[in-house]
């Protein structure tokens, strides 16, 4: 069938064809549009559902360039998916918001949002208006938050007693590739956060924690450096590998003669002119080195490179130097050593030098890889987590895992309340919301019951991923929570017989939730529901 078309002319008299395809397009409205939006969100949630919990499956993601990423981190999976639907993109943003604000629970929040929308679809089929559904969800969220405050437990944060912090950090590592080394990595994460934490203000400056990795070795070689690690070595192989009581000049100006900033050019037409130019360059290098040494510096870190002549003169004048240090590393070194970044040699003074107890060069086995470690810094709070792994993929996943563990410990410093995981808290809130729904006479009671059913999506997914019969397992735990009045009962994902009945139950069933921010992600879900249903 021929497509209807028309010919029009532009201002220059050139013809162009107008294709009339609007007749083939159909605009979705009403309930069809709402269901289309909900279906897109459910599809994204179902994709992540199998990655939830310690027994969840990893996803293999292949980029257009052929790079392979294997992870079960919800935010990473969604950020690398090519999502076209606008409501599905909102689910991606929801996961990213959870990652930015809390750092953990990025998979669970998407699964919960998908369950809420799935329940909203059934209510729409019964003719309930989207605004009434959203009102009921918001009322149920408030009840759930009140229940969270009641069943939460607190414990003191103390730098001398780290056992509970390590156990809670381990809960976020159990489902990761690094679970084999979860004890070691949890201890590193706790030590790193406590090193930079201000317990009086309940604040953690993540800018002082640098996470870096290098291919080679094994995960067990991952370590915490109380200082700064720079992936560089001394600019000359004969320079000393260890500098004690280092006074560091942090430079963002290159060791080279100034170049004319005009359109004029310099012509060298004779041997005498060449020798004069060479002498000028040499004198300039020597003057720069003298300016650095006059301040008392015994180590120079330069953001830019310098040529072999400058490198040789630095060696002759016994001034160790490091070149091509990146901008973020320069800033972190300045913070750690208490130094100032100097953009010109003329501005360098002894007061602007950074101070460190020792700067040493590390070498790795039989390889030629070398790195600089700056330790015993003036600001002892700056730390670096150095990850080793067999390949780049392992190191990148270890970085994501350590980020989650750091965020968990950071959240505990900010708010030292915990609730029990394994779906226990979701079931407790579900029971409470269902109980309160029976006391409400308005139409919102149906939305509240749907909210309570949606909360059960988390324990159902955990049970299914752990190989249990999901409906039977969740029904059994719900009845036990009611009979025993114990909100700490959850899914035994690790199959270790721990049922959470007592306060000293195994911490594998504990997942840290930053309760003050849970309200934020409930509100985001409510906003998503309203937008999807309009």
Nearest by Cα to 183 from 145, 226, 131, 219? 219
Q: What is the DSSP string of 338-381?
A: T--EESSGGG--GGG-EEEEEEEEEE-TTS--EEEEEEEESSTT
Assess whether the region 31-153+421-532 and the region 227-379 belong to the same CATH fold.
no
HEC sequence for 472-485: HHHHHHHHHHHHHC
pLDDT computed for residue 520 by the predictor: 42
CA distance 290 to 314: 10
CA distance 459 to 472: 11
**Catalytic status, residue 73:** yes
CA distance 242 to 320: 10
- State whether CATH 3.20.20.70 applies to domain 31-153+421-532: no
Contact 431, 477 (CB under 8 A): no
- Per-domain residue ranges for the chain? 31-153+421-532, 227-379
pLDDT computed for residue 48 by the predictor: 86
CA distances from residue 147 to 320, 390, 430, 513, 515 in whole angstroms, order as listed? 61, 45, 10, 14, 11
CA distance 451 to 454: 5
* Matching residue, tokens 């929040």: 109
pLDDT computed for residue 264 by the predictor: 65
158 contact partners, CB below 8 Å, separation of at least 6: none
Identify the active-site residue in 404, 473, 492, 529. 404
pLDDT computed for residue 516 by the predictor: 37
259 DSSP 8-state letter: P
Q: Class for domain 227-379, per CATH?
A: alpha beta
CA distance 330 to 221: 26
pLDDT computed for residue 85 by the predictor: 80
Would you state the structure tokens that stand for residue 416, as one six-digit string? 């030292």
Which string of b and e fits 28-67 if b means at least 16 CB within 10 Å?
eeeeeebbebbbbbbebbebbbbbbbbbbebbeeeeeeee
Identify the active-site residue in 71, 106, 473, 529. 106
**Catalytic status, residue 404:** yes
Identify the active-site residue in 50, 71, 73, 104. 73
Would you state the structure tokens that stand for residue 206, as one six-digit string? 């993540």
136 contact partners, CB below 8 Å, separation of at least 6: 443, 444, 445, 446, 447, 448, 450, 451
Identify the active-site residue in 47, 71, 107, 172. 107
Contact 358, 242 (CB under 8 A): yes
420 DSSP 8-state letter: E
Q: If the chain, 534 residues long, is cut into consecutive pieces of 10 residues, what is the mean pLDDT of each piece?
A: 61 72 66 80 85 80 81 81 82 82 80 87 86 85 85 77 80 76 87 85 82 83 84 85 88 75 70 80 82 87 81 84 84 85 85 87 72 79 84 84 86 81 84 88 88 88 84 87 84 64 33 41 50 50
CA distance 269 to 49: 74
**Catalytic status, residue 367:** no
pLDDT computed for residue 50 by the predictor: 85
């Amino acid at each position: 069938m021929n497509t209807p078309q028309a010919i029009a002319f532009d201002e220059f008299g050139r013809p162009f064809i107008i294709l009339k395809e609007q007749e083939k397009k159909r605009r979705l409205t009403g309930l069809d549009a709402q269901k289309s939006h909900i279906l897109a969100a459910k599809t994204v949630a179902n994709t992540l559902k199998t990655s939830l919990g310690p027994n969840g499956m990893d996803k293999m993601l292949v980029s257009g360039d052929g790079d392979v990423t294997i992870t079960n981190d919800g935010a990473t999976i969604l950020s690398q998916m090519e999502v076209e639907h606008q409501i599905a993109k909102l689910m991606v943003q929801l996961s990213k918001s959870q990652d930015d604000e809390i750092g953990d629970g990025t998979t669970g929040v998407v699964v919960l949002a998908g369950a809420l929308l799935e329940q909203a679809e059934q209510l729409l089929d019964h003719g309930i208006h989207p605004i009434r559904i959203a009102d009921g969800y918001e009322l149920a969220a408030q009840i759930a938050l009140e229940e969270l405050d009641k069943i939460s437990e607190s414990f003191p944060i103390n730098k001398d007693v780290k056992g509970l912090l390590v156990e809670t950090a381990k809960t976020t590592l159990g489902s990761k590739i690094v679970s084999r080394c979860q004890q070691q990595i949890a201890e590193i994460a706790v030590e790193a956060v406590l090193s930079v934490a201000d317990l009086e203000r309940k604040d953690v400056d993540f800018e002082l924690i640098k996470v870096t990795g290098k291919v080679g070795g094994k995960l067990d070689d991952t370590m915490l450096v109380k200082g700064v690690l720079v992936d560089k070595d001394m600019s000359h192989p004969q320079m000393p590998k260890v500098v004690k009581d280092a006074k560091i000049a942090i430079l963002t100006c290159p060791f080279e003669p100034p170049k004319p900033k005009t359109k004029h050019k310099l012509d060298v037409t004779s041997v005498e002119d060449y020798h004069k130019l060479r002498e000028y360059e040499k004198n300039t290098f020597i003057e720069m080195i003298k300016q650095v040494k006059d301040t008392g510096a015994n180590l120079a870190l330069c953001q830019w490179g310098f040529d072999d002549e400058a490198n040789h003169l630095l060696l002759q004048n016994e001034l160790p130097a490091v070149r091509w240090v990146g901008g973020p590393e320069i800033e972190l070194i300045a913070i750690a050593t208490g130094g100032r970044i100097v953009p010109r040699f003329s501005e360098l003074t002894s007061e602007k030098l950074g101070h460190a107890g020792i700067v040493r060069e590390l070498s790795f086995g039989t390889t030629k890889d070398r790195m600089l470690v700056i330790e015993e810094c003036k600001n002892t709070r700056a730390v670096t987590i150095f990850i080793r792994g067999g390949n780049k993929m392992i190191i990148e996943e270890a970085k994501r895992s350590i980020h989650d563990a750091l965020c968990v410990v950071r959240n505990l410093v900010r708010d030292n309340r915990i609730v029990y995981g394994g779906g226990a808290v979701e079931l407790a809130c579900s029971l409470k919301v269902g109980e309160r729904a029976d006391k409400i006479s308005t139409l919102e009671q149906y939305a509240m019951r749907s909210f309570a059913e949606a909360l059960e999506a988390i324990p159902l997914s955990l049970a299914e991923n752990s190989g249990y019969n999901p409906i039977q397992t969740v029904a059994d735990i719900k009845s036990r929570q009611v009979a025993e009045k114990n909100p700490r009962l959850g899914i035994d994902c690790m199959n270790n017989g721990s049922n959470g009945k007592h306060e000293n139950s195994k911490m594998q069933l504990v997942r840290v939730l930053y309760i003050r921010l849970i309200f934020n992600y409930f509100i985001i879900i409510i906003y998503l529901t309203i937008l999807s249903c309009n």
